[in-house]
């Protein structure tokens, strides 16, 4: 996976999970990875099935129908030090690292799998959450290959 430093954002904060998902989608749109309609499909996807994956990570991505909105495969990495709740008040699911993804064909499945394996080790998530530069994030994730 190639990581575009323009798509890595440190020290962000969001009021709601929808704000966080929309931000990931806007980064992908602004980078030329997706058409604007993909952003709404990312919100819809989370409504259908939470994009929260555990271990303080969420992987916002579009619905299967939105694949036609993907121009090229891309991935955003958004650090949220204070976290954003993808659950409910009674059952919080706090994410401190967001991976917004868009994949051509089935590439998004491969991306989710690689991210999930990397983040299964909570130490890796802590390192990402504590990263002080985009270069440091890329360096950590280059081990994902």
Q: Are 75 and 101 in contact (CB under 8 A)?
A: yes
How far is 11 from 32, CA to CA, in rounded Å?
A: 23
d(CA 136, CA 127): 9
CA distances from 8 to 60, 66, 74, 87, 106 (A): 14, 23, 11, 24, 23
Residue 61 among the catalytic residues: yes
**Closest to 68 in 3D by CA, of 38, 89, 93, 42:** 38
Q: Which of 29, 61, 73, 97 is catalytic?
A: 61
Distances (CA, A) of 35 to 16, 25, 30, 64: 23, 9, 9, 14
Structure tokens at 64: 């299967």
Active site (catalytic) residues: 61
């Amino acid at each position: 996976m190639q990581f575009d430093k323009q798509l890595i954002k440190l020290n962000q904060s969001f009021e709601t999970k929808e704000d966080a998902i929309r931000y990931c989608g806007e980064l992908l749109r602004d980078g030329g990875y997706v058409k604007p309609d993909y952003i709404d499909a990312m919100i819809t996807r989370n409504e259908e099935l939470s994009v929260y994956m555990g271990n303080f990570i969420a992987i916002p991505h579009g619905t299967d129908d939105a694949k036609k909105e993907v121009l090229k495969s891309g991935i955003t990495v958004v650090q949220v030090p204070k976290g954003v709740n993808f659950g409910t008040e009674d059952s919080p699911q706090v994410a401190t690292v967001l991976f917004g993804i868009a994949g051509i064909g089935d590439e998004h499945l491969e991306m989710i799998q690689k991210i999930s394996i990397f983040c299964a080790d909570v130490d890796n998530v802590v390192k990402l959450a504590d990263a002080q530069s985009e270069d440091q994030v890329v360096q950590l994730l280059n081990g994902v290959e």
